[in-house]
Structure formats: C-alpha cells, structure tokens
Amino acid sequence: MAPTIEDTRFIAALSRHQPALEAFCHAQLGHRQDAQEALQATCVKLWEKSADWDPNTEFLPWAFAVARYTVLSFLRDRMRERLIFDDDVVQAMAEETEAAAEQFEDRREALGSCMQKLQPEQRDLLQEHYITGRSVKELASATGRSESAVKMILLRLREQLSACIERQLRIVP
C-alpha cells in the first residue's frame, strides 16, 4: 500500500527532527545506549500516534511531549535496576532540554560553518578524536606531541568553536 500524503509529511517531519529528539533523549538519560532505546521507542510511539498529529501545527513540540512521556516510562521501567531521578527532576530536566534541542539544527549548522574556519589540520584533529574515536594518547603519538599538548589543543579548539557558534547564533534573526 502506497503511503498517503499525511504519512509522507509525517515521515519527512520525523526525519528532519530526529537529531533533536535524539539529543533530547540523550540529555534526559545520559547514556548513549539508553538514549538510543528511548529514541527508538519514541519513534515507534510517534508512528503509532501519527494520526493524532495535525500537519498544520509544529511537529517538534508535539514530538517532545511524546518523547517526554516515553522517557518517563523508560525510567520507570529501569527503576527496578538502579537509582533513578524522580519524575519532578526528570520533568525539570525535560523542559530545559526541550529548549536546547529546539536550537539543535541552528547550532549544528553554525558548527559546520565554524569548522570551515579552522585550519585543515585542526579539523582533522577534531575529527580523529570526536568522530573516529582516537584517544588523546593515539593522537599524541601520531602527531609527535605530548598528551598534555593534544589535550590543550582540543580544549582551545572546543572553546574557539563554542565562541564562534555563539557569535553566529546572535547574528541569526
């Protein structure tokens, strides 16, 4: 059966906002694997409730509401396993995270722009550490620098990127 226009609009909205939902789940749960499980459960729940979404309204606030309840359910299920925040703390964190996640796409675009302003060797170092997952020790060995020097370079690059992103976000209307 071919997807309906509503299905297509829903899938497009979910695909566009999935990174923000992932960031939301990760901020709520702190662990990548838990966040992935909660994101998957959220996407399933969103699909089940897709008929409830009005395509003439904003998708992300609706999706965040579903994600918030999915995360709370996930946490309740995990309470038997370990000490977890109570619902009030999770609710407060969710509100903060929603605000940050709504800016996720703008921040990601600003990061891309700021990364282009770096020297190629600086971009390579960041990519090797944060994307490829090479340790500071491995990077120090590969670049002929001390581990302390590599840590300091990474710190300065993070600070430089953070300042650049904040400048760019203040410029954007």
What pLDDT does residue 172 have? 54
- Residue where a domain terminates, one of 44, 76, 102: 102
Domain count across the chain: 2
Q: Tell whether 72 and 15 lie within a shared domain.
A: yes
Whether 95 and 112 map to the same domain: the answer is no
Confidence at residue 83, expressed as pLDDT on a 0 to 100 scale: 54
Tokens of 24: 């939301």
Shared domain for 96 and 147, answered yes or no, is no
Residue 124: predicted pLDDT: 92
CATH number at residue 115: 1.10.10.10
pTM: 0.50
What is the spatial distance between Cα 34 and Cα 124, in angstroms, rounded to a whole number? 30
Which of 97, 81, 80, 88 has its CA nearest to residue 29?
Answer: 97
Length of the chain: 173
pLDDT at residue number 81: 57
Whether 49 and 124 share a structural domain? no
Tell which of 102, 134, 162 closes a domain.
102
Q: Which domain holds residue 83?
A: 5-102
| pLDDT lower than 50: segments of the chain | none
What are the pLDDT digits (tens) for 96-127? 777 777 777 788 889 999 999 999 999 999 98
102, 137, 161 - which closes a domain: 102
Looking at residue 85, what is its pLDDT? 63
